[in-house]
Structure 1
């Protein structure tokens, strides 16, 4: 276990909607459109491409590591779903997750033809495969609610997400299964969740619905593999259902993955209780909370109770190849944290033997970045609070004078 800091700020998505946000944007060439006619000159005209908002130049982004382990992050889709592709490329990701609409609202405007076309074009431009993209469902959705009327609204939101994924040509969709809300047995809620999946399958064409394991707090379903299996058992088309394992959630639920033996044991249990063919993705998160705490508290890689050694076992495990491995760790709105974590995980996937010096070095680099950005964010927040306080005091003073 490695504990090197006590910051507890929650994860914030990267918001990069312009290629000019890239650190090396000042070095970029000024280019003209390839299909513009060039005036005749004595010197041969150079072939140039025009960089537009809808057509990013892949050479402007970091070179991504070629690896069978598809490591990435849950990036922002602010300004349009197509921006998620660029944001993933910006941090050197070989996979990514996104929200296909606002996760804070029940209803969102439909995807425009322009959004869909730009997303698909950028997927081709940057060389991302749909099978390495793991969209995340809304946190508002609870398909386990025993109240049919209260379950219908979440289902409509859920189905809308799935249909958006198919519009974008994506193959997977990850969601939190739900809760009994203390008004049903877990077995009853499990049946409701499966019923919603069956109905969603009938209203969609091919999307695979991926159930995420949970930390186990309160009445939440999915902290035990037996509960995930229970949902799958009730699903009619088992070729279109799967599981995403979250390392933080598993640890919080009581599965000790902090050692190589522990990691192998959890996969063995998953294979026995659920089945290896159902594993469709992984969320790579360290844990702020202790083993079995039932608390869903994500921490940066190597800085929590799980420790960096476990993640070396994860990203060098052949069973984790060719599925999306997604970071949901705190970023403090800083692009370089996920860039460093992805780089560190790619480095760990290539280690053959135990190299504690390398692990310690990577943890120190991540720690340094996180501390720096956490301090900056805290400082900015303090200044903002001070400005608001001063403004309030000025208003009170003016009122008194009046």
Structure 2
């Protein structure tokens, strides 16, 4: 079972390996810099080598780099598009430097341009990237609030089909739930997975952000809860982690650190829910 968490790179990206081990993870996710600002990754060769060696020797992998929250691939604004493409290029280059397989990105918001135009903008922006060998961009499912795209599986499928890049998908369970896919029961999980397979294809699913939700299905509200303690709940989480077609997909947690529970508690909870 590959399960881990989003951990900090404070003090050097190589520190993420030890932090992952400390919470009981064997794969995981990082930011290469603060996701709230436009900033380039600043990783020296020594850090990168220590990160690669630590990962190779001590973790199962994979790692995912999560792109900046400021990136908006759907935008109709030329300046924001240019910044977004530049930021993504820096992230895929950092992934190659670190030996990281995946760079994860939200499609963003069309801000009035409309769904069709926004999705076309996202596909063409991704096509501007020079993605190094061994790195794949994952488009992430979204909660779908406002003009944000990616809440509907069809949005993701449209971008995958329209882009010339070899793209895959990261499914966030809290986002999918917020967007209207009811994952709170075994039947709901079955229906959602089958729809994902029909619309996108399970072969394109390379990572699951495993998060419970503090808000109800279909509310478009994105706020994560501890595993089994949100509105997806224990039944839904158990169904997800044991669903046959999902058992080999890496699970990365972005659960909160509150109520005396952090990543270690949540990762252990996932392992308790997993049936051999």
TM-score by length of structure 2 reads 0.95
- CA-to-partner distance for each residue in 1:55-85, whole Å, 9 max, x for gaps? xxxxxxxxxxxxxx21111111111111111
Q: 1:23 corresponds to which residue? A: none
What is the Cα deviation at residue 137 of structure 1?
Answer: 1.0
Q: 1:340 corresponds to which residue? A: 265
- CA-to-partner distance for each residue in 1:196-217, whole Å, 9 max, x for gaps? 21221x3533311101111110
Distance in 1, Cα, partners of 2:140 & 2:229: 23
What is the Cα deviation at residue 109 of structure 1?
Answer: 5.3
- CA-to-partner distance for each residue in 1:285-320, whole Å, 9 max, x for gaps? 111111110111111112111101111111112222
Question: Is contact 2:2–2:60 with CA below 8 Å preserved after alignment?
Answer: no
* Unpaired stretches in structure 1, ≥5 consecutive residues: 1-68, 352-402
2:45 to 83, 92, 113: 113
The question of 1:88 aligning with 2:20 is answered yes
State which structure, 1 or 2, has the greater radius of gyration over its C-alpha atoms: 1
DSSP 3-state at the match of 2:64? coil
Distance in 1, Cα, partners of 2:19 & 2:157: 34
The question of 1:148 aligning with 2:78 is answered yes
Say if 1:109 and 1:266 are closer, same or farther in 2 by CA, change over 3 A. Answer: closer
Aligned residues: 276
Question: Is contact 2:41–2:94 with CA below 8 Å preserved after alignment?
Answer: no
The question of 1:214 aligning with 2:142 is answered yes
Q: 1:224 corresponds to which residue? A: 152
Return structure 1 stretches of 4+ with deviation > 4 angstroms: none
Distance in 2, Cα, partners of 1:291 & 1:150: 31
Q: 1:272 corresponds to which residue? A: 198
Q: 1:136 corresponds to which residue? A: 66
Q: 1:307 corresponds to which residue? A: 233
DSSP 3-state at the match of 2:262? helix
1:254 to 169, 172, 180: 180
Q: 1:103 corresponds to which residue? A: 35
Distance in 2, Cα, partners of 1:221 & 1:123: 33
Say if 1:103 and 1:308 are closer, same or farther in 2 by CA, change over 3 A. Answer: same
Q: 2:220 corresponds to which residue? A: 294
What is the Cα deviation at residue 333 of structure 1?
Answer: 10
2:274 to 340, 346, 349: 349
Distance in 1, Cα, partners of 2:180 & 2:27: 28
DSSP 3-state at the match of 1:315? helix
Q: 1:38 corresponds to which residue? A: none
Distance in 2, Cα, partners of 1:207 & 1:149: 26
DSSP 3-state at the match of 1:243? strand
Distance in 2, Cα, partners of 1:246 & 1:73: 13
Q: 1:284 corresponds to which residue? A: 210
Cα RMSD of the aligned pairs, angstroms, is 1.6
What is the Cα deviation at residue 107 of structure 1?
Answer: 1.9
- CA-to-partner distance for each residue in 1:100-124, whole Å, 9 max, x for gaps? 2221221235310111111112112
Q: 1:386 corresponds to which residue? A: none
Q: 2:59 corresponds to which residue? A: 127
Question: Is contact 1:177–1:193 with CA below 8 Å preserved after alignment?
Answer: yes
Say if 1:301 and 1:345 are closer, same or farther in 2 by CA, change over 3 A. Answer: same
Give the structure with the higher percent strand: 2
Q: 2:119 corresponds to which residue? A: 190
The question of 1:171 aligning with 2:101 is answered yes
Distance in 1, Cα, partners of 2:103 & 2:41: 19
Distance in 1, Cα, partners of 2:128 & 2:259: 38
TM-score by length of structure 1 reads 0.66
